[in-house]
Structure 1
Amino acid sequence: MSTEAMNWAMDDAPMLRTEKDRPDTTARHVLQVLGEHARPDGTNAHPSILRIQFRTGYDRTTVQRALRRLEKAGLIRRDGTVDGRTRWQLAMELIRPKTDWADLEREEDAFRAAAAERKRRSRSKDVTRSTPVTVTDFECVTVTDSESVTGDVTHSTPSRHALKVRPSRTQCRPNHQQPSDNQIPKSSSPATASAAADVPQPDHHLKAFGAFWSNYPKKRDREEAKKAWIAAIERGVDPDLMVKSAQAYARERHGKDATFTKYPANWLNKGCYDDEPDPEPPAANGTPQHPTYDTEEYYRGFVQQ
C-alpha cells in the first residue's frame, strides 16, 4: 500500500462527472482501491476484479464500467498483465483544480443562507400583531396599540403583569360559571382604591386549593395543579364549586381504574368542574362510596402548612 498513491486517489485526482453533471462516486471508489495496491509512483496496481468487488461492494459489471470510465478519462493506463490480471498505472501527474474546493465552499454558504432565510420566514409567520385589548383584572391597564401602552395602573396583592393575563375561557364557553358578585371588581374613587391597595388581603383562593387537593382522587403534579387552580380563579370560577366538583369526581372514580382518572391540572384546565356528575349508585350499607371532607377544616389545615 502506498500513501502517496492513496492521497492522490482520494484528494488530488480529478473528479469524474456523470452524464447528469454529478460526481462519479463509483469511479472514485474504484480508483481508491487501485491507489491502495499501487506503488508510490502509481505503477504496478493489479488488484483482481474480485478484489475490487470485495472492497467496494459493487457487482462485476459496475466495476468493469468504472474502470473503462477511468481509462477513458486518462486517470489510469494499462501496463501489461500479472497472473492474468490487468496491471494499471495511475496518472498521478493529473491534479484536481483548486476551484473545486472554492465551488464547494460557495455551495455550502448558499445552503446555510437559504436555511437561515427559511428559519426567519418560519419565525415571522408565528408572530402576529396584537389587537387593542382592555385589561381590568387586578390591574387597570388600557392597551391601545402593540407599541404604546397608556392607562392608570393600580397595584394590588398579589400583583402581576397585565400582559400575562390569560384569555378568558368564558368567551368560547357560553355556559361557563359566571363570577359571583364578590369576585366582580367594583368601581371606587381613586382615594378608596389607593387605601384598599395599601391593606394586604389574604389569598383565600390558594387556601381553598388545600381542600381541593385533599378531595381530588389523583394527586399528581401539585405545582401544575396549583397553576391551573390560579388560572381558573382568574377566569372567575368559584373555588367552592371546584372543591365540591372534585368531591363529586372522587366519588365517581371511587373503586375504578386509576389509570383513566384525569390529572388535577388537566381536570382544571379543561373546566371539568362544570361537568354534570354521573349519578352515584346507592351504597349497600348506607355509607357513602367515597369519603368526603369538610372544606373549612382543610382551609385551616392548609393555612397551618
Structure 2
Amino acid sequence: MSHEAVKWAHNLAPIPMDSNGKPNASCAAVLVGLAIHAGPDGKGAFPSTRTLVRYTRRCERTVRTALDRLEADQIIRKGDPAIVAAHIKRGDRRPQVWDLAMERVRTDLDAEDLKALEAMFPGVTARVEAAKAAAGEAPVDNADAQAVDNQEGGAQLSHPVASTGCSRRGDEVQPVQLRGAAAAPELSTEPSNEPPPPARAGIDAGTPVDNQGAGGADLGSHQQATATPVELFLAKLGPDWPLSKGQLRRLVPVVTRAIAAGWDPTVLAEYVRANTTGVRSPYAVLTSRLGDLPDPPRRSRRTYPDERTVAEATTSAVCIHGDPRPRACALCRRGIALEETA
C-alpha cells in the first residue's frame, strides 16, 4: 500500500462533481481503492473490478461508471499494460492498469485547510494557488480592503471594485461579486444582442445530423434514407442523453464496432438509452454500456409473408402445405414457407 497515494486521494484529489454541486461519493471511493494499489508516485494500480466492488460496496456498473468519469476528468489515466502482464500471465484475466494524476490538487481548500495540510504535504499552498491561477481563480487578498460603513438607513453597503461595473445602492444590500470573471448580465434587464449560435454539425462535416443534442426527434424519411448507421443511432438516443461534439466523436468508433458486430442501429439505441434514472454523466454511462454489450439479438428467419411461427402454426385452422391436420404439420412448425417446398 502506498500511503502517499492514499493521503492524496483522501485530501487533495479533485473529485467529479454531481449536479447538486457536491463531489460524487462513488468516484471518491473508487479513487481511494485505486490509490491503495498504486505506487508512491501513483502509478501501476491494477485492482480488478471485483476488488473495487468489494472496497466501495457499489455495484459493478457504478464502479465502471466512476472509472469512466475519473478518466474523463483526467484524474486517472491508463497505465503501462506491461506492469500487469508481469504479474498475471493469462491475457484474458488482466485488469486495466491505472496511473493517478497526483499532480492535480483541489482548488476549494481555504486557508485553514491549507494550514492543516501543509505539514502532511509540504508546499501544498503554492500548488493550490498555482492550480487556482491555471483555472482562472485568482487568490483572494484582503490586505488592502476598505472598511465597511454602516449607513443611517440600516443596511450595510460594501465598497465595490470599479472594474466590476457594480454601482452603489442606497438603503439596499449590495450584491456580492463572484471571484474571477464578472457576473453575467440579467436576461430580463440586459438581453443579449449577439446572434444565436449556429446549429451543431453532425459527426461528418458533409452530412449534418439533426439529433437535438445527441438525440431528439426521429429522422425524416429522406434523412433516414441518406443517414449512416451511426447517425441513425445518435438520432434515436433521445433528448435524455445530451452529448458534446467531442464526446460524440469519441463514441463513433465504439458505435461502429457494435454495428459491425451485428447490432441494428435502432435496436442498439433502444438498448443503451434505457433506464435513465440516476444518470449524472450521460457520456460515461453510454461508454460503459456500449463497452459491455451482450451478443446482438438474432433476427427472425421469416423472409416470406406466408411463413409462420410455431405459435401461428399450432393455432391456425388451415395448413399452407395441404396437410389435413394443420396443427400437426412438421413444415409449419419449422417455419418453412410454401415456396421452399415447391
Scaled by the length of structure 2, the TM-score of the pair is: 0.29
Which structure's residues are more often helix, by fraction? 1
Higher relative contact order, structure no. (Cα contacts within 8 Å, ≥ 6 residues apart):
1
Asked which structure has the greater CA Rg, the reply is: 1
State the TM-score, normalizing by the size of structure 1.
0.32
